[in-house]
Amino acid sequence: MRWLLVAVTVLACLAWESPAAGASQKLFLKDGTYQLVSSYEVHGDRVRYYSVERSAWEEVPLSLVDLEATKRAQQEEKATQKKELEEGLEIVEQRFEKPPENGFEIAPGVHLPQEEGVFAYDGKRVIRLIQSTPEVVTDKRRAAFAMAVPGHLLKGEVILELPGPRAAVRLQQAQPTFYAQLPEGLGAKLDLFPVRVVKESRVVEKAKASRAGIGKPSDVPAAVELQRTQLAPGLYCLKLLHPLDPGEYALGDMAQQGLNLVLWPFGLFETPRTKEEMKKQRHEDSERE
């Protein structure tokens, strides 16, 4: 229905703007001038026409009228009108008839973008996580972190730092679902882990370096439990088994060779509901200890 309304609008606009569409046309005379008419008729040696200027029927001798130039102009005008109409209908088809290029459907009427990335779904909307490359903290700054971070930092241990105390992406749902749409099956290797806030930055600890440089980490952060399901080639669904506590987190492949990795950080807002869950979780953790 919407397509028909737009098509009718296009036709109406073309008919209104085009003089040869029945509203007006040019009746050429042999002296090179023309009369703007709505219609004309040939009767013997006379041409009868309705003048648009004077809104009246008039006549002129046929010998003064250039019928060939008049018909040629009408044909050219019709060809131009047809071309404009086809272009207008093509625009209508592209805008209203072409189906949207949606990605994988994760819920009724909810689709992922087609491009690569890591996305969170909170039951209402799809949120793109922003890819970030952490900085490896050098020895000059280790002392400051050793004072700020509880616990002993071992020699050879690498600290990864993200700028700022908070991630730009903030989630409100304590148990969102993540979708990793990445090449080479990277989505199957992603882990979710908490990120510690230290002063004006966020740090990921316990990734050891090798003698030859930064090699394969032998001690990675404790990851949050995830259930991984492959939905399509290169697309993985990562489901949380338990709600998250409010705080800072990141998704990444911490077990890859080297630490030239990328992370997808996010923060979880603290809500009254997640406060209760956090207290309950702390109580359960203390009982287990």
User: Domain with 35 in it: what CATH number?
Assistant: 2.30.30.100
Spell out the alpha helix ranges (H) of the chain: 2-17, 67-92, 139-148, 272-288
Task: Supply the pLDDT for residue 243.
Answer: 93
Residues 185 and 225 in one domain: yes
Boundary residue ending a domain (68, 97, 126): 97
69 and 129 co-located in one domain? no
Per-residue pLDDT, 148 = 54
Do residues 47 and 174 both lie within one domain? no
For the four alpha carbons of 53, 57, 62 and 64, in that order, the dihedral sign comes to negative
Pick from 97, 120, 138: which residue ends a domain?
97
Confidence of residue 253 (pLDDT cuts 50, 70, 90): confident
178 burial via Cβ count (<10 Å: 0-12, 13-18, 19+): buried
Do 179 and 147 fall within a single domain?
Answer: yes
Share of the chain above pLDDT 70, in %: 66
For the chain, strand residue ranges (E) read 25-28, 34-43, 46-51, 56-61, 105-107, 110-111, 117-121, 126-128, 135-136, 157-163, 170-171, 177-181, 191-198, 201-208, 226-232, 235-240, 247-252, 263-268
- For 186-198, how does the pLDDT look when each residue is reduced to its tens digit (9 = 90+)? 889 999 989 988 8
* Whether residue 30 has pLDDT greater than 50: yes
Q: Same structural domain for residues 111 and 206?
A: yes
pLDDT surpasses 60 at 163:
yes
The listed range with the strongest mean pLDDT (80-84, 98-102, 183-187, 226-230) is 226-230
141 and 276 in a single domain? The answer is yes
**Are both 121 and 258 inside the same structural domain?**
yes
Domain final residue, candidates 31, 62, 97:
97
Mean pLDDT of 75-97: 74
Do residues 141 and 28 share a domain? no
Whether residue 200 sits in one domain with residue 127:
yes
Co-location of 116 and 253 in the same domain: yes
Domain that holds residue 37: 2-97
Q: What is the tally of structural domains in the chain?
A: 2
Query: What is the pTM (predicted TM-score) of this model?
Result: 0.54
Per-residue pLDDT, 218 = 46
83 and 184 share a domain?
Answer: no
Q: 66 and 139 share a domain?
A: no
